Structure 1
Amino acid sequence: MEAPAAGALAGLKVLDLSRVLAAPWATQILGDLGAEVLKVEQPGRGDDTRLWGPPFLEDGSARPDAAYFFCANRNKRSLAIDFARPEGAALVRRLAAEADVLVENFRTGGLAKYGLDAPALRAANPRLIYVSVTGFGQTGPYAQRGGYDFLIQGMSGLMSVTGRPDGEEGAGPMKVGLPVSDLFTGLYAAVSILAALNHRAATGEGQHVDVALLDSQVALLVNQAMNFLVGGASPRRLGNAHPNVVPYRDFATSDDYILVACGSDGQFRALCTLLGRDDLAADPRFASNAGRQRDRRVLEVELARAIAPWRAAELIAAMEAAGVPGGPINTIEQVLESPQLAAREMLRVMRRDDGTPVTVIGFPGKLPASPASYRLAPPRLGQDTRAVLSALGLGDDEIERLRQDGVIALAGAAERGPTA
């Protein structure tokens, strides 16, 4: 059966009042899966990430958008509305009355002064799924604090287990090279929205979904947190080594670093045979993973000596043939140019409404019956304001008055002049 082009979430209306990354990541997921996403931005400025450059997408405009903006804002339409103004807030309330989902990431209680809080909007639209993404949630002693990815990586304990161990050169806590706390939170928000939609389908009622960066990152401590809860010892930094599995780390060859990831005793024995070190496989200390973990320093020194003479590409090929998991440490450029990503169609070229091309990284899930789609390139600020407000019932004269009053902005309005 031919897959429908509309996507699994076609017909779902999402009002996106968020900016930066965590919540926009969630709404982009919904958009990729077919939802209509209306992104409300501040006139004249827009989402903060439009300015987070260089690099910027050079398109000939006076203020091009930063590359950062493009990672989380495809399949969205941009409305430039100042909802700090009463007329602007009224427009957002009208949009919310027709929405299935509203996503915001203002500080707890920050939208109440505009009449855009969950109780107000859900009173007018009980089916609305109102999603608040904050640093610390709607409750608790930290609820009023602002939360940013870097702070959450530190406060959650993630940085305490990331970085070189004490005693080594360069030791100390280290953040992950990507804003993972934001991204994890966006994923949890998207999953929560889908659960709330299923609940609404059964009951007819919406709800206020509360998603916090700290909660999400703590949930992703997974085995490290369970190691403490079960074993009682606080996990520590191990560099590239694994807290539970050995050998599972980087090793230096004669020309580069490679990764070895033996998840079973059989894989470890195959590695030893490949390296000509069957004596290590036969050593009772290393017969099980528990023993290898206990005596990891002794074992890893011996493995490092055996690996050092190899060339990286030759050892990786030999490991693949022997069924031993391993691989290179790619640069971003190398992985984006890899044949595997090409085969998986993970890079997609989209064109903005002015024709400017932009390459984006695609949605990773492959859904044969309801695939992700790439309908709308990340929009220019306010490019859809007129079309959406017209569909809402506003006439051209009213739209022009709102523009002249500074309540809304239209992409290119300054160049076009007043609407006839």
Structure 2
Amino acid sequence: MLRDALRGLTVVDFTQIAAGPTCTMLLADMGARVIKVEAPEGDLGRSLGPAWVGEDSALYHGFNRGKQGLCLDLKQPAALAVAQRLVTEADVLIESMRPGVMARLGLGYETVAALNPALVYCSISAYGQQGPYADRAGVDGILQADSGLMSLIGIPGAPPCKVQAPVVDVVTGYMACMAILAKLQARHRDGLGGHLDVSLMNSALALQQSSISSYLRDGELPTPIGSAAPYSAPNEAFQTADGWLMVAAYNGNRWERLCGVLGHPEWTDDPRFISSAQRVAHRAEMQEALTAVFRTESCAHWLERLRAADILCARVADYRDLLNHPQIAENGMFASITHPRHGLLRVPGFPVNSAEAAEQPYLPAPDKGEHSRELLAEMGFSEREMADMLESGAVIAA
């Protein structure tokens, strides 16, 4: 099963909030042992709510399932010794501090690679490890703005909008996971690890492959157009009598069938609507004509008729709809986690072979320092050494 494909792999996780934790969550979902190292103040993601699970945010629990928790004050030499011993035996280290911070802590790539040449070391940052912006911090919304992504979102004349879901963070986590798996495959050949540089900026640009490709070709700046696609029409949401319906009927056959379903076969011969390119050029007129018909009936009415004609469509759903979505239920994408203190938690599950993955239970996110004592003992520290580190605060246990 995919859920145990990475069994035997040890990952040390020095990340917080969303991008890095997405990557390490995926690795844990595929069977890797992930040791989450937190500072005494904990992962900042613990404080980002609502909603809450006890004293921590639901966001933290959503991104950190299946990991072990170790809490270290890396400003203390004893804690640095623990971290260095930990990474010496690890396969992967992933960190999301500003470039240079890990080196100042004594855990920079050159230092760690000397201890463990086979280590795959992945750095996640806002802009990359080199260059004029390397020392700048950045979060999802900042990179949605700085990458141009925000300029695509919203409706004409409205204030700038962002995607509420942290899409740049999440896709950066997926990029990092992909890069780590590729580097591990290369390590099978040469036995060596290496340093991976993954940035929110590059990931945000990758999200815009189609729009940027078009701009680089014709120099035309894209502008917000609501739910529509700039390269095809109709490929947008239309208001019905009781909600909104997304319709994609931009190729020739589906456009003809849509015109028939709407009772206006003459639109197929209208010069304004004769091709997808013409419909894009006359989008406002097309939208006005189609909306006038769509508003006469309910979403359910149109869904039945459009699907019968093999026209791509979907009701614009909210999260309440997702809980009753039969395909999401079939796919097993809402995972259940039994937390020892907070009971049953539900989070989005592993997205590949998700129904199969749901058969294996997910472990909860760790409390801060939950496994500190266990991990110290496993690394060979004596009871006296552990007591001293816990007393000094170099290591913190739940």
Which TM-score applies when normalising by structure 2? 0.96
Q: Please tell me the residue identity of whatever aligns with 1:95.
A: L
Matches within 5 A, 1:6-85: 7-43=4-40, 45-58=41-54, 64-85=55-76
TM superposition shift of 1:141: 0.6
Alignment partner of 1:358 is 2:358? no
Give the match for residue 417 of structure 1. Answer: none
Q: Is the 8 A contact 1:75 1:374 kept in 2?
A: no
After TM superposition, give the deviation of residue 125 of structure 1 in Å. 0.5
Letter of the 1:297 partner, please give it. A
Q: Which residue of 1 aligns with 2:84?
A: 93
Pick which of 382-391 and 337-346 moved more: 337-346
Q: What does 1:150-189 align with in structure 2 at a 5 Å threshold?
A: 150-166=141-157, 171-189=158-176
Cα distance between partner residues in 1 of 2:56 and 2:105: 28
CA distance in 1, matches of 2:135, 2:35: 27
| CA positional deviation for 1:283 | 2.1
Are 2:94 and 1:106 equivalent residues in the alignment?
no
- Closer, same or farther: CA 229–361 of 1 in aligned 2, 3 Å: same
* 1:128-162 Cα deviation digits (max 9, x unpaired): 01000000001111011001111100000001111
For 1:300 and 1:36, locate their aligned partners in 2 and report how far apart those are by CA, in whole Å: 52
| Structure 2: distance between partners of 1:372 and 1:42 | 34
Alignment check: 8 A CA contact 2:23 2:173 kept: yes
Deviation at 1:371, TM superposition (A): 8.4
Q: Counterpart of 1:229?
A: 216
- What's 1:309 paired with? 296
Aligned partners of 1:7 and 1:370 also within 8 Å:
no
Bigger drift between 22-31 and 337-346 goes to 337-346
Q: 1:154-188 CA distances to partner (integer Å, 9 max, x unpaired)? A: 0000011111113xxxx132111111111111111
Contact 2:10 2:32 in 1 (8 A): yes
Please report how far the alpha carbon of residue 342 of structure 1 lies from its aligned counterpart in structure 2 after TM superposition.
1.1
Cα offset for 1:396?
Answer: 2.5
Q: How does 1:320-335 map to 2 (within 5 A)?
A: 320-335=307-322
C-alpha contact (below 8 Å) 1:7/1:372 kept by paired residues = no
Partner of 1:259: 246
- One-letter identity of the residue aligned with 1:48: L
TM-fit CA distance, 1:250: 1.2
Residues 250 and 145 of structure 1, relative CA distance in 2, 3 Å threshold: same
Equivalent position to 1:238, from 201, 222, 225: 225
Quick one: distance in 1 between partners of 2:238 and 2:356?
Answer: 42
Checking the alignment, whether the CA contact within 8 Å between 1:132 and 1:210 is kept in structure 2 is yes
Partner of 1:61: none
Give the gaps of 5 or more residues in structure 2: none
- Contact in 2 for aligned 1:181/1:213 (Cα 8 Å): yes
Q: CA deviation at 1:372?
A: 8.8
In structure 1, C-alpha distance between the alignment counterparts of 2:111 and 2:346, rounded to whole Å: 40
1:345 — aligned with what? Answer: 332
Contact 1:75 1:376 survives alignment (8 Å): yes
Q: How far 1:382 sits from its partner (Å)?
A: 1.0
C-alpha separation between the residues in 1 aligned to 2:360 and 2:384?
Answer: 35
CA spacing shift, 1:207–1:373, aligned 2, 3 Å: farther
CA distance in structure 1 between the partners assigned to 2:85 and 2:177 by the alignment: 24
User: Superposition RMSD on alpha carbons, in Å?
Assistant: 1.7
Instruction: Decide whether the 8 Å contact of 1:385 with 1:409 is kept in 2.
Output: yes
> How many angstroms apart in 2 are the aligned matches of 1:286 and 1:229?
27
Q: Work out the CA distance in 1 between the residues paired with 2:372 and 2:362.
A: 18
The answer (yes or no) to whether the contact 2:67–2:365 under 8 Å persists in 1 is: yes
Amino acid at match of 1:338: H
Residue range with higher mean Cα deviation, 68-77 or 373-382: 373-382
- CA–CA distance in structure 2, aligned partners of residues 388 and 263 of structure 1: 57
| 8 Å Cα contact 2:330/2:355 also seen in 1 | no
Alignment gaps of 5+ in structure 1: 59-63, 412-420
Instruction: Tell me the SS of whatever aligns to 1:159.
Output: helix
Partner amino acid for 1:322? A
Deviation at 1:375, TM superposition (A): 3.9
Using the alignment, how far apart are the partners of 1:123 and 1:359 within structure 2? 42
User: TM-score, with normalisation over the residues of structure 1?
Assistant: 0.91
Partner of 2:108: 117
Deviation at 1:391, TM superposition (A): 0.7
Structure 1 residue aligned with 2:382: 395
Aligned CA distance change for structure 1 residues 242 and 370 (closer, same or farther; 3 Å): closer
For the residue of structure 2 that corresponds to 1:174, the secondary structure is coil
Report the CA distance between 1:265 and its aligned residue. 1.6
User: Is the partner of 1:106 in helix, strand or coil?
Assistant: coil
Distance 1:95 1:33 in 2: 21
- The structure 2 residue matched to 1:379, chosen from 366, 379, 382, is 366
Q: Which amino acid aligns with 1:34?
A: G
Q: Deviations over 1:235-275 (max 9, x none)?
A: 11111111001001111111211111124221111111100
- Give SS of 2:49's match: coil
Tell me how far apart the structure 2 counterparts of residues 85 and 300 of structure 1 sit (CA, whole Å). Answer: 64
Say whether the 8 Å CA contact 2:87–2:112 is kept in structure 1.
yes
* 2:203 paired residue number: 216
Q: After the TM superposition, list the runs of 4 or more consecutive aligned residues in structure 1 that deviate by more than 6 angstroms.
A: 367-372
Give the 3-state SS of the residue equivalent to 2:385 in structure 1. helix
Q: Which structure's residues are more often helix, by fraction?
A: 2
Residue matched to 2:286 = 299
The SS at the match of 2:227 is: coil
Q: Report the identity percentage.
A: 35
